[in-house]
Structure 1
Amino acid sequence: MNFPSFLQTLRRAIGPCLLGAALGLSAASAGAAERTVDPKAAPNDFLEAVADNMLDAVKADPQALQGDPGHIADLVRRYAIPYVDMNKTTRLAAGRYWRQASAAQQDALVQAFTGTLIRTYSGAFTRITQGTTITLLPFRGDPKADDAVVRTTISQQNSPAIGVDYRLEQTDAGWKVYDLNVEGIWLIQNYRNQFASEINRSGIDGLISALNAKQ
């Protein structure tokens, strides 16, 4: 089955180095002390701390820098996934089919989709360069609102800047990322089309199997 991911599609469009940055990397020096991530801070401050810690962790791990997928996946699980609301991301990607799934199927789908995103994020992190930078743009929304968009631009030497937006939701635990936009392409919308196609072909269980087959 051909099940191209959001990030695989973007890789062809904007290149792997910028894509790694788009997933949450900023220009932080290797070896810097790990920043405290405060999910209840201002949206820009929260996202910047997560981004800095992720990049520092990759730079500090020789095997991750060499592109070892297992090491990179471990770093993604530790430094990125805790700040992503995978339940909401999966629910929105599944759309109306989410309500048709049993509780067990919903749990299995969240786990399968989490694995898919970890794998694709890890693939992007294998191409980090010292010249990749991310600039957080001035925050335009209300930091006290329940939903916010943090806008950034990604810069790479000899390449045009790329606009990346992160959509965050205020939860009881603070801010959580649940969607990503790269140059007008939203992750959830992209996967919603793919999920619907697979569910129509082979049902919820078929979608879960297809995602797990890519692990």
Structure 2
Amino acid sequence: MLARFLSLLAILAATAFGAGASPALESGTPDALIQKVGTEMIERIKADKAIQGGDFQKLSTLVDELVMPHVNFQRMTALAAGRWWRQATPEQQKQLMDEFRIMLLRTYSGALASVEDQSIRMKPMRAAADATDVIVRSEIVQPRGEPIQLDYRLHKVDSAWKIYDVNVLGVWLVETYRTQFGQEAARNGVDGLIKSLADKNRQFDPNKKS
């Protein structure tokens, strides 16, 4: 199940913030945010040969610039870590966020660099006008094969919408990582979880020091 989920996330990474032709959406709505950020993300990747060639640093910079301002990554990490987040010190929480972000980027950077003809078809919003926590539903449309379900959880922070979870074919990213993180932390504590993530990241970058 996990292997299939990760393979689907590779497709997700290539299109997670990308949108194809869709009707105009009301400015300031969560689905409009997904569409707007996605369009620019796709265009920037397609125009940047270095990213397409696997330049991780440029990809990281692009994600920080375009995507991360619209993600509540602290909440995403806290939900993934579960009760272990509450037991972590502020420094441990920062380390968890840093290593989790690097792991996600490095795991899916190849798919991000290979954006081609995929697009996203937005589905109608089903939320109350005054809702502050919503699910934006969409489908990935591929040149070949069936559309893939792709949904986002967002919540409102002051006047801004922030993404904090993503769903591919009915499986939420946070839930999947919560299982992995919980198993590692149960064996080796919060420091062990941080070390496990750092070790995985070093597999991508042998020059990274402990």
TM-score (norm: length of structure 2)? 0.85
Q: Indicate yes or no: 2:72 matched with 1:85.
A: yes
Change (3 A) 1:144 1:93: same
1:89–1:178 Cα contact (<8 Å) kept: yes
Which residue does 2:46 correspond to in 1? 59
Contact in 2 for aligned 1:84/1:178 (Cα 8 Å): yes
Give 2:17's aligned residue.
Answer: 24
* Among 162, 165, 186, the residue aligned to 1:179: 165
* Structure 2 residue aligned with 1:31: none
The share of aligned pairs that are identical, in percent, is 37
Does structure 2 conserve the Cα–Cα contact (< 8 Å) formed by 1:11 and 1:19?
no
2:92 aligned residue (105, 127, 135): 105
**Aligned-residue offset at 1:133:** 1.0
- 1:10 aligns to 2:14 (yes or no): no
Aligned pair 1:49/2:36, yes or no? yes
Would the aligned equivalents of 1:147 and 1:168 in 2 still touch at CA under 8 Å?
yes
Moved over 6 A (4+): none
Measured in 2, the distance between the counterparts of 1:123 and 1:48 equals 22
What is the letter of the counterpart of residue 160 of structure 1?
E
For 1:22 and 1:190, the matched residues in 2 are separated by 20
Distance 1:83 1:120, change over 3 A: farther
Of residues 102-111 and 202-211 in structure 1, the stretch that sits farther from structure 2 once superposed is: 102-111
Q: Give 1:185 shift.
A: 0.8
Residue 167 in 1 paired to residue 160 in 2? no
Gaps of 5+ in 2: 202-210
Give the deviation of 1:21 after TM superposition: 4.0
Partner of residue 156 from structure 1, selected from 121, 127, 142: 142
TM superposition shift of 1:172: 1.8
Aligned match for 2:121, one of 129, 135, 144: 135
Determine if the alignment matches structure 1 residue 193 to structure 2 residue 189: no
**Contact 2:15–2:112 under 8 Å retained in 1:** no
> Of 87, 92, 96, which aligns to 2:83?
96
Number of equivalences: 196
Q: Render the CA deviation track for 1:23-56: whole Å, top value 9, x for unaligned.
A: 212237xxxxxxxxx9x81111111111111111
The answer to whether the 8 Å contact 2:88/2:190 transfers is yes
Is the 1:26–1:51 contact (alpha carbons within 8 Å) kept by the matching residues of 2?
Answer: yes
Q: Which runs of 5+ in 1 are unaligned?
A: 1-5, 29-37
